[in-house]
Amino acid sequence: MWQRFGILILTGLLLTHCQQKSPEEYGKAVNVASWYHETMTQVTDVIIHDILTPPVASRVYGYVTLAGYEALVPQYSELNTMAGIYRDLPAFPQPEGEKAYCFPLASLTAMVEVAKAQTFTMEKYEEFDQKMADFFKKAGVPADVRERSITYGKAIANHVLAYAKGDRYPETRGLRYTVKNEAGKWVPTPPMYGDAMEPYWPTIRPFVMDSAGQFPPAPAIPFSSSKQSPFWKEVMEVYSIGKNLTEEQKKIAWFWDDNAFVMNVQGHVSFANKKMTPGGHWLAIARTAAETSKADLPKTARAYLLVAAALHEGFIASWHEKYRSEKIRPETVINSALDPAWQPYLQTPPFPEYTSGHSTISAASAEVLTGLFGDNFAFTDSTEHKYGHGVRQFASFRQAADECSVSRVYGGIHYTSGCEEGQKAGAQIGQFVFRKLNK
């Protein structure tokens, strides 16, 4: 009887051994970009649900993509660590000796752990976590390798989160901004009359820029009430365009709205819509580019890292100028001095006008994507189709950034100068980020 029992145990062990896949075998299933894309989309969905502001969302994306990228560095020789390149970033933990790891699993684990630490709605990750665990198990990754890889991914995440604590973000929470009741200075706008958004964002530590003011725009056109002044001419341009919007201009403005929280007022009823942030839109474009070009896992990780870094630096730079010049919004000038009933096509967001943040980060993103995937990369952008914003086609990333920039004028929330100067600074930032990180 005991002999028979021993044979059964031995047979079971042999079957288990035969069924266990080698790293080469399960590697074919797991060394793919699809789960990386899905993880980034999951992070975006939670950011939308939690209504994170565009600058804060860019910070989340920056650290999530850094974690995912760094967990892949030990496997892919074409990926170089960002330690020593990102400001103040120390060397990352390394895998143990010759032990087997599934680095794609470590990468996704690191991304999700960093995202969870920076967002609020934990239950939004539960189903995703289970699906991810089931995938790697069914792919044949041995249990000990899965456990070791998850542990390594968490070590990378903890390293990134420790680094994040030093970027001065916690110190900016709860700080207030005093509105200046001076001619030409920004004041809150209807219908929310919201407090100034992230007035201390310029103090956040950049990833690679020397300072928030490294890429300054031209000085803002000075405020003037003279009808012959350059300032009044740009006011009248916004007013005239807003009064005569074509259907195509409306489509363009709406497509690039990317306002994370829009307050709708109908009579005595108010309700809000949650939508994509500008950063989420451009990371979705990065996904489109990677999938269209059939980019492998390391190139996909690099693409997300570079776009997220461009977004991070772009918001810091734009916000530096916004709260330096504190330029008044078109809506405020037009309502007070020209037409009290005029409303912009898009809702004015709660921060100063100059420069356009969306123009800045779009140009920055377009430059790194052009560097990675080439100029004249045609693509269809269906990023926000599910939010009712339509689908548009572009011949290049730069064309998309150009359209995004002018959309802010069509929307009545920016002057042309704020958009054009934001674009110029953003292009410089994107090129700088690409040179620093694409090594």
Residue 272, H or E segment: strand 269-274
Helix (H), strand (E), coil (C) string for 250-272: HHHHHHCCCCCEEEEEECCEEEE
- Using DSSP's 3-state secondary structure scheme, residue 271 falls into strand
β-strands 269-274, 261-266: how paired?
A: antiparallel
Rounded distance between C-alpha atoms, residue 411 and residue 424, angstroms: 20
Q: What is the CATH T-level fold of the domain 202-437, as seen in this structure? A: Vanadium-containing Chloroperoxidase; domain 2 (1.10.606)
Token pair in block for residue 10: 């031995």
Beta-bridge mates of residue 261 = 274
**Where do the structural domains in the chain lie, given as residue ranges?**
17-169, 202-437
For 354, other C-beta atoms within 10 Å of its C-beta total 26
Q: What is the DSSP letter of 327?
A: B
Question: Which CATH code for domain 17-169?
Answer: 1.10.606.20
Q: What is the CA radius of gyration of the chain?
A: 24
- Using DSSP's 3-state secondary structure scheme, residue 86 falls into strand
Averages of pLDDT over runs of 10 residues in the chain (439 residues) are: 43 45 85 97 95 96 98 98 98 94 98 98 95 96 97 98 98 94 96 95 98 98 97 98 98 91 49 76 98 98 98 98 98 97 97 98 98 97 83 97 98 98 98 96
pLDDT recorded at residue 270 = 44
Rounded distance between C-alpha atoms, residue 423 and residue 219, angstroms: 14
Q: Contact at 8 Å (CB) between 401 and 336?
A: no
- 90 vs 82, 160, 237, 373, CA distance in Å? 9, 10, 50, 30
Residue 393, H or E segment: strand 392-394
The residues, ordered by sequence, that sit 6+ positions from 272 with a Cβ below 8 Å of its Cβ are: 261, 262, 263, 264
Closest by Cα among 300, 283, 308 to 35: 300
pLDDT recorded at residue 439 = 83
Asked if 17-169 and 202-437 have one fold, the answer is: yes
Phi, psi of 4 (to 5 degrees): -65, -40
Phi, psi of 270 (to 5 degrees): -120, 140
Burial of residue 391 (number of CB atoms within 10 Å: 0-12, 13-18, 19+): exposed
β-strands 392-394, 269-274: how paired?
A: unpaired
Q: Contact at 8 Å (CB) between 268 and 368?
A: no
Q: What is the DSSP letter of 205?
A: P
Work out whether the CA dihedral 111, 109, 38, 288 comes out positive or negative.
positive
Q: At 418, which amino acid appears?
A: G
β-strands 392-394, 379-381: how paired?
A: antiparallel
Q: At 388, which amino acid appears?
A: G
Cα angle 273, 275, 277 (rounded to 5 degrees) comes to 140
Closest by Cα among 281, 279, 287, 292 to 303: 287
Residue 291, H or E segment: helix 278-292
> Which pTM was predicted?
0.93
